Amino acid sequence: MRSIQIHPGQAKVFNSRKKVVLAAAGFQSGKTTIVELAGVYRAEEEVRSWVQAGRDPMSKPRYAILVRREKDFKSVILPKFKELFPANKFVYSKSDMMLTLKPHGIEFRGYSVHNPDNIEGITVNGILMDEARLFDPIVWSKVLTRLAVRDGWALLATTPSTGWLKDRIYDVWRSGDPDYEVVQWRSIDNPGFSVKEYERLKSELPEEMFDMLYNGKFTSFSGLVYAYKPELHTLTTLPNRFDVVIGGIDYGFATPSAIVVIGINDGVYYVLKETVKKGIDDEKFADITLKYQDDYQVSVWYADPNAKDIIEKLRKAGVKVRRGINTVEAGISKVRSELTRGKLFVNVECEETIKEFTHYTYQMNDEGLYIDKVFKKNDHAMDAIRYAMYTHYYTPTVDLSRQIILDLKNKSNAAWTAYSNNFGTLDHLRAIRTYEQGLNDRENSWNYD
């Protein structure tokens, strides 16, 4: 076994001898590493005792590693074994996903539980489960049955989620069951995880999602994209003046259209006025937009870049409209960041916007887990606000060019200063990616004519 430095959370998992041990930790926190390490060490203890006792060979301890699909064994489990143990420490049989550890011939066999029946009939002393949150609940029922004959144990690694993990392991542990232990830690408890990246993600993600994904906490994440709190973010009194007023447009006919006016004052965004309505014809749509432009002195509108026909019609009618940037994740991050920082508020009269903020959710996959993709419903005002806030924020005060990207890659001080003045100080690679994305957006989406 190679020498490895482990942090306190990992040490607690390694030293535990409970029947069920759950390492519930943030992404890239070392949970898979420690579960494999602890599982092998625990198995070696048992096999040494079995050898010394001279027991029946038929009762030799056996162990299983459960993964969702076979490819996960090959892409995650096997590479981690190779990282942790010298090549002469184990033998791998590809045909049956078997890892045999020397010198006592300890067998860890891999099983895909995409079909839970794959583990029917096995009898083992211990089971390792990686990213257990992705498993069907019936798998856990079968695991307990498979361990019962030999009074075996289970070591699980996962990022927390709602569902069976919380109900059948975390809550059981919290109730005081002496056979269960849950060990939790943050991503940054792993010394190799960037504190800067941790803080960036904290500012961009909903609090409940961040706590699950990067703090290893079981939370009641509702799936909402934004942590909009009506009592905090809804205003009855608005400023009398604004540094600039912008607008967002999401056009539809069969689906609702959204026209949203946003005032910006000292870096704080205020949603001032909305129209969110289905079946507005082009002429009426232009009339409403022009009226808001005059009433609120809107300097520029940012529209769905794919709505080319309505953009052209609006321009002919005198609307100062540009094609917005439709980079969904980055736009959501911008809006979320301003909400989190207390720099985005909504006029109490904008009822549809408030409704969408409190109902805009992520999609759920077949396992009942939220994924990083928004559900296309209750999103018309959300899209309009995103186009406006992100595109206006992204408009640089220096020229975007391929030369800037080359200069950044060459670590030019002038290019770095220009970048920092516009987007703040971030890591070097993100600076390059940001400029490249901006250049692509400008060439493919923006229209200043």
Which CATH number characterizes residue 83's domain?
3.40.50.300
* H or E, element range at 353: helix 351-357
CA distance 78 to 85: 11
173 and 256 housed in the same domain: no
336 and 427 housed in the same domain: no
CATH code, domain with 254: 3.30.420.280
Q: Which domain holds residue 410?
A: 397-449
Per-residue pLDDT of the chain in tens (449 residues, 90 and over written 9) = 556 789 999 999 999 999 999 999 999 999 999 999 999 999 999 988 887 877 765 568 899 999 988 988 988 899 988 888 888 888 999 888 999 988 778 899 999 998 999 999 899 999 999 989 888 889 999 999 999 999 999 999 999 877 788 889 999 999 999 999 999 999 999 998 999 999 888 877 777 778 888 999 987 666 788 888 899 999 999 999 999 999 999 998 788 999 999 999 999 999 999 999 998 999 999 999 999 999 999 999 999 998 989 999 999 999 999 999 888 888 888 898 898 889 999 999 999 999 999 888 877 666 555 666 777 777 999 999 999 999 988 754 334 445 555 555 555 555 545 544 444 434 444 444 544 554 444 444 433 33
Is there a contact between 212 and 235 (Cβ–Cβ < 8 Å)?
no
Domain termination site, one of 395, 419, 440: 395
243 and 129 housed in the same domain: no
Is there a contact between 22 and 13 (Cβ–Cβ < 8 Å)?
no
CA distance 271 to 45: 63
Residue 139, CA atoms < 13 Å, CB-side half-sphere: 26
Cα-Cα end-to-end distance for the chain: 65
Asked whether the whole model's pTM tops 0.85, one would answer no
In a domain, 389, yes or no: yes
Is there a contact between 415 and 404 (Cβ–Cβ < 8 Å)?
yes
Domain termination site, one of 350, 370, 395: 395
Residue indicated by tokens 């849950």: 182
CA distance 398 to 419: 9
366 and 349 housed in the same domain: yes
In a domain, 3, yes or no: no
**Would you say the C-alpha torsion 439, 326, 288, 279 has a positive or negative sign?**
positive
